[in-house]
Structure 1
Amino acid sequence: MRKLVASINMTLDGFCDHTSAIADDELHQHYTDLLLSGGDLLYGRITYQLMESYWPTVVKNPTGNKRTDDFAVIIENIPKIVFSRTLSNVNWKNVKLAKRSLEEEVLELKQSNNREDKDILVGSPSLIAALTKLNLFDEYQLCVHPVIAGQGLPLFKNINDSIVLKLAKTKTLGGGQIVLYYEPIKK
């Protein structure tokens, strides 16, 4: 069975805001390595549109920064599935719109072997919260940046039940970011 992994950047005070992240070379390398381990990348509409508006332009017009440009190519090529009630089409390479419910799509992906058992990565706050409520995650990879944003979108919005996690490992990046790898303790 494939592993479902939540992976996201967040501030020290728990907000998801890409403008607050420290997007240095080491962070781009970390996410390039993560995408290489992934077989599918799941997005909600807002995150999809944010990523789609930027990364294809970097593929067409490289920045000259190897790690940023490598990340752009990897994210361009990984299969992506977008969950949206409002989008009727998508334009980015290797993207499809989900046709069924989030739970149905994810359960089928977890059972499938079509991506060499590579992880299913989830990179949208809304999907992470929804899939947390469904207890479908096998791992959380939270990249905490040394920033206090003071406001923004909380990652675990509308989570009402307690969920106990076990720290599996940590990784410290040069910009002061700490990646926390947690596994849910199944009841």
Structure 2
Amino acid sequence: MRKIVLFMSVSLDGFIEGPDREIDWHMVDDELHGHFNEQLAAMGAFLNGRVTYELMAGFWPTADADPASTGPMAEFAHIWREKPKFVFSRTLERADWNTTVVRDVIAEDIMALKAERRGGLPEGDLALGGAELAAAFMRQDLIDEYRVYVHPVVIGRGKPLFTASDTRTTLRLAGTRAFGNGVVLLHYRRR
């Protein structure tokens, strides 16, 4: 069965974005971007909330045509365009770029998506992105792995990765990796 894998970058103090939604503090260099490409190319689909999807759709469809894009950026543009995507939104009417709009996080539907092996999705786990969507998945105990990329910056305030919750999930460390730019991957799996 496929796994739901949360991929998120956070500041050292636990924020995914600043108070004005800025992410300019993310320290994504070619080494880290190459790692992201390797990990995400192996996924079967991307699961995003509307805000994350719109951020991605506003840049990645044509990023490989931009002369300012690095090699890893151009590579990811291709990965993002080709990969099936599910955007969870109650307001979005339609979405392009191989994307299906889903209205709600319904545990039975997510379990069916995880079990799907034919007729639609390529092999691979499901990459989850977006703090609000992650919180909805956490409330229903649907996340199998957490891959949190901690950036060596304290931004003081903004949107936290994890909000208050009544859900408790015990995890085990699956691995760590330090990148040359100071970013550290913390990889956890459910017990």
Query: TM-score by structure 2 length?
Result: 0.90
Distance in 2 (CA, whole Å) between partners of 1:64 and 1:54 is: 11
Q: The residue matched to 2:27 in structure 1 has which SS? A: coil
User: What is the rounded CA distance, in whole Å, between the counterparts of 1:99 and 1:184 in structure 2?
Assistant: 26
Q: How many residues align?
A: 184
**Structure 2 SS opposite 1:121:** strand
Counterparts of 1:106-145 in structure 2 under 5 Å? 106-114=110-118, 115-145=121-151
Matches within 5 A, 1:48-67: 48-67=53-72
Give the corresponding residue for 1:22. Answer: 27
CA contact (8 A) 2:63 2:69 kept: no
Judged with a 3 Å threshold, the aligned counterparts in structure 2 of structure 1 residues 116 and 58 are, in CA distance, closer, same or farther, namely closer
- Comparing 122-131 with 153-162, greater Cα deviation is found at 153-162
Does the 8 Å CA contact 1:39/1:79 hold for their aligned counterparts?
yes
Aligned 8 A contact 1:141 1:181 in 2: yes
What is the alpha-carbon distance in structure 1 between the residues aligned to residue 33 and residue 80 of structure 2?
11
Q: Residue 178 of structure 2 aligns with which residue?
A: 172
- Hey, what does 1:161 align to over in structure 2? 167
Q: 1:71 aligns with which of 65, 68, 76?
A: 76
Instruction: Kindly indicate whether the alpha-carbon contact (under 8 Å) linking 1:82 and 1:98 is maintained by their aligned counterparts in 2.
Output: yes
One-letter amino acid matched to 1:149: I
CA displacement at 1:102 relative to structure 2: 3.9
**Aligned-pair distance for 1:116?**
4.9
Tell me the secondary structure at the aligned position of residue 81 of structure 1. Answer: strand
For the 8 Å contact 2:4–2:125, the answer to whether it is kept is yes
**C-alpha root-mean-square deviation of aligned residues, in Å?**
1.6
Contact 1:63 1:69 in 2 (8 A): no
- Ranges in structure 2 where 5+ consecutive residues have no aligned partner: 18-22
Structure 1 unpaired stretches of 5+: none
Partner of 1:7: 7
CA distance in 1, matches of 2:187, 2:91: 33
Task: Please give the TM-score of this superposition, normalised by the length of structure 1.
Answer: 0.91
Instruction: Establish whether residue 97 from structure 1 lines up as the match of residue 105 from structure 2.
Output: no
